[in-house]
Amino acid sequence: LIHTRQGLQGHHKRQLKNIERSEYNTEEQLMDMYRNVLYDNRRHNRGQEVEADELGLTYLKNTKYSIEEATKCLEKLDGVDDIPEREALHLEKLLNTEVYPFKQTWLEEESTMFNSDIETAVIFEKDSIKTHPDCKERIQLLTPKLSAAGEVFLQPENAFQQLKKQLIFEQANAQYLLGDVGRGLYYFLHLLDTHPQDVYVHAQVGQGLVDLYYAIKSHDFDEMVKQPNSKQEVDYQQLLRVLHRMRSNEVKQLAYHYLKARATDFDTNESYLLALFQATELMDKEEEIKALQKKYQQLFPNGKHADYINSY
């Protein structure tokens, strides 16, 4: 295997030298070489994945779990890249407040000569760049080796279902932690439809808007909010267009009024109170800031944000 790899490396070096000597079409030759190397590597990796499936099944047989669940796992994996079906977001409703109404101009789509949706000229065959074999093929290979022995749930099923619900929130929060505030905000806005009275969801929507204001001011906005393109969910594209159209003052106003409008219901929650405090700071509302500071000190004298709140 080592000699084979060394031989391939030598072959690739000779190819690169020949391309360097070429006067024409060097870019096309480089892309052809890259495509072939990628296909060869992925083909080799897929062979290893088949072996890994068989080994994983062997390990699973030594547990009390049902090995039939292995193919169900692959069925779910087969659709992992599919866009899940959701009710479309109605941003005009979700981000509207009486004092600071949602602006219809935010929804207008700009036409520009620079289109982020332009596809690259480099075309790859979808199946050839996969590191994993097709899931349906993997299921066919494993099915003859399955048996009905074992149990689906060794732990309480309700605990598993509760974990699934929690993961929906974790998925949204993870986007914030990864710096993709636009995607995180999209997930939290969807959670508003199913959890309209959840204080954590409202706090995270407000916090996301506050973070976007700071991102604009620090010139990090484009890193936190992607450009819309046709491969994204339609309502996610719409949200991205809205965020890119808003000015810093509008983001600041929206964050403050969104949180302020819901304060009566939620401002005894620490996360919500923090987001409201930060949004109020952005608005330079001195009296309100002092009142929120006092409220936080009363409710959460040893809170995890006490140092920040008290430092004002």
CB–CB of 250/216 below 8 Å?
no
Which of the pair, 44 or 38, is modelled with greater confidence? 38
Rounded Cα distance between 104 and 111, Å, is: 17
Instruction: Name the pLDDT band for 12 (thresholds 50, 70, 90).
Output: low
pLDDT at residue 290, as a whole number: 96
Highest mean pLDDT among 54-58, 106-110, 224-228: 224-228
Token duo for residue 177: 């932690």
Expressed in percent and rounded to 5, the helix, strand and coil fractions of the chain are 65, 0, 30
CA distances from 202 to 10, 36, 42, 212, 265 (A): 58, 49, 43, 16, 11
Predicted local confidence at residue 122, as pLDDT: 47
Alpha-helical segments (H) within the chain: 2-21, 26-61, 69-78, 91-94, 135-142, 157-177, 181-194, 199-217, 221-224, 234-245, 248-261, 263-266, 270-282, 286-299, 306-310
The residue type at 108: E
Angle at 44 between CA 39 and CA 45, to 5 degrees: 95
3-class DSSP state for residue 151?
A: strand
Higher pLDDT, 166 or 141: 166
The rounded distance, in Å, linking the Cα atoms of 259 and 76 is 38
Beta bridge partners of 151: 65
* Res. 3: pLDDT tops 90: no
Is the pLDDT at 199 greater than 90, yes or no? yes
Give CA angle at 276 (271, 282), nearest 5°: 135
Closest C-alpha to 176, from 202, 153, 207, 145 = 207
Instruction: From 196, 41, 37, select the one nearest 205 (Cα to Cα).
Output: 196
Alpha carbon distance 215, 185 (integer Å): 14
CA-angle at 231, arms to 229 and 233, nearest 5°: 90
Q: What is the pTM of this model?
A: 0.70
Q: Is there a contact between 73 and 224 (Cβ–Cβ < 8 Å)?
A: no
Q: How far apart are CA 60 and CA 51, in angstroms?
A: 14
If one counts every other C-beta atom within 10 angstroms of the C-beta of residue 37, the result is 14
Of the candidate ranges 71-75, 239-243, 305-309, the one whose mean pLDDT is the lowest: 71-75
How many CB atoms lie under 10 A from the CB of residue 57? 16
Reported confidence tier of residue 174, pLDDT bands at 50, 70, 90? very high
65 - beta bridge partners?
A: 151
Q: What is the mean pLDDT of residues 184-194?
A: 94
* Phi, psi (degrees; rounded to nearest 5) at 225: -130, 110
Tokens 């819309």 found at: 228
Q: By three-state DSSP, how is residue 65 classified?
A: strand
**Tokens found for residue 7:** 């031989």
pLDDT at 33 over 80: no
**What's the DSSP call for residue 116?**
T
Average pLDDT, the chain: 82
More confident residue, 287 or 138: 287
Contact between 272 and 289 under an 8 Å Cβ cutoff? The reply is no
Q: List the helix and strand counts (H, then E) for the chain.
A: 15, 0
Please tell me the number of Cα atoms within 13 Å of 253 on its side-chain side: 13
The Cα 305–Cα 164 span in angstroms is 29
